[in-house]
Amino acid sequence: MEAPRLPQSDHDAVESWSAVDDAALIAGMRRGLEAAIVEFVDRYTPMLIGIARRRGLRGGNLITAVMDFLDSAAMRLAVEASRVPDPLPPWLVVSFRHRLRDDWRAERRRQARELLIATDIGRGTQRVVAESCSEYAIRLTEGTDGPDPTEGAATWQVLREALAIALDKGVSEGERQLLGYLADRMPQREIADILGITHGNARVRILRLRARLVQLARAHVNSLPVADGITLARFLERPPRRTVRDAEHARLPDHGPARAQSRQSARNPDDAGDRGSTHD
């Protein structure tokens, strides 16, 4: 059987390219033939539009997503000397789905960032760090409510602020955003949803963030003069006191750690009243 003659140039009609297979089409694109590129776009745009539509994109967003993808995919196919993906349609489907997912995640992150700025959660870094870091960081917020009588209020207020600044310097923009959500006591599932990641992934990020904050706090303590370091270390190592906010949460008819803590307190009434006033 005689092989069909492949179009040789742009002077050949665009229609003649519709008969060639994907490998020949890409070979044409690699020679910079405009007609081959027209056929490539014409051949696969409807399929990509279908995928984008089922992902919920509409109107201008849909066309932009498809064109952006075609721009990178076609250029990659036309420029790189690598092997042509065979077969091409599944490769396009996988690549486009990945691209849509990345775009969706980026959009959610952008929205979350805007929301963060709009609600000004990130302004009070000390509060964010203190409320989300860990139990001992919660202690840091209590300074203004009731300073520890055994320590000079002014001293540990300064130490607290210095620690908060050190922690703030050590976290990235993304981690600060995550701290904002934790400060808002947002469930992990919601955080995962906003960041466009899985629940497990969000959990791991939070665990890593906690570990990082602990590491930063340790480094900060070690960098202080001995006396201040000891004061801060002692402060951080003390068992947490219950704050007014914790007590309010314990009263709320809600599931979660606060309620569990209130149940625990009910079982151990001695412990419940003791936590707030225990000093070293």
Partner 1 sequence: MTNQPDRDDAGRVDSFGERQADTLLRIAAERAFDQLDPSDPRNASFFAWYAREARERQTPAERRATKELARVFAARMVRRWQVEALGVREGDGEPRIQRAPVAATIRNAVELATPKAKAPCVDMAVAAGAGRALWDEECTEWVDVPADLPPGKHLALRVSGESMTPFLHDGDTVLVKIGTELKPGSVVVARRPDDGYVVKRVGQLRRRSVELVSLNPEYEPILLPRDPRLLLGTVVLRWCTHAAPG
Q: Report CA-CA distances (Å) from 126 to 72, 74, 85, 207.
A: 43, 49, 52, 20
Question: Phi and psi dihedrals of 4, rounded to 5?
Answer: -65, 145
Chosen residue from 4, 32, 200, 273 binding partner 1 by CB under 8 A: 32
- Shortest distance in whole angstroms from residue 97 CB to partner 1: 8
Q: Which residue is associated with the tokens 């009731």?
A: 146
Kindly tell me which of 76 and 263 has the beta carbon lying closer to partner 1: 76
Tokens of 148: 């520890």
Kindly tell me which of 53 and 185 has the beta carbon lying closer to partner 1: 53
Kindly tell me which of 29 and 221 has the beta carbon lying closer to partner 1: 29
Instruction: Considering only residues 56 through 85, tell me which ones interact with partner 1, judged by CB under 8 A.
Output: 63, 67, 70-71, 74-75, 78-79, 81
Q: Which secondary-structure segment (H or E) carries 92?
A: helix 88-119
Cβ atoms 164, 130 nearer than 8 A: yes
| Interacting residues of 257 by C-beta distance below 8 A, sequence separation 6+ | none
**Residue 31 touching partner 1 (CB under 8 A):** yes
Q: How many amino acids of this chain bind partner 1 (CB under 8 A)?
A: 42
| CA gap 46, 9 in Å, rounded | 25
Kindly tell me which of 43 and 113 has the beta carbon lying closer to partner 1: 43
What sign does the dihedral 202-167-164-150 (CA atoms) show? Answer: positive
Cβ atoms 13, 39 nearer than 8 A: no
Kindly tell me which of 34 and 102 has the beta carbon lying closer to partner 1: 34
Kindly tell me which of 70 and 194 has the beta carbon lying closer to partner 1: 70
- Shortest distance in whole angstroms from residue 106 CB to partner 1: 22
- What mask, x for binding partner 1 by CB under 8 A, covers residues 216 to 255? ----------------------------------------
| CA gap 36, 278 in Å, rounded | 78
Contacts with partner 1 by CB under 8 A lie at 8-11, 14, 29-35, 37-47, 49-51, 54, 63, 67, 70-71, 74-75, 78-79, 81, 87, 89-91, 93-94
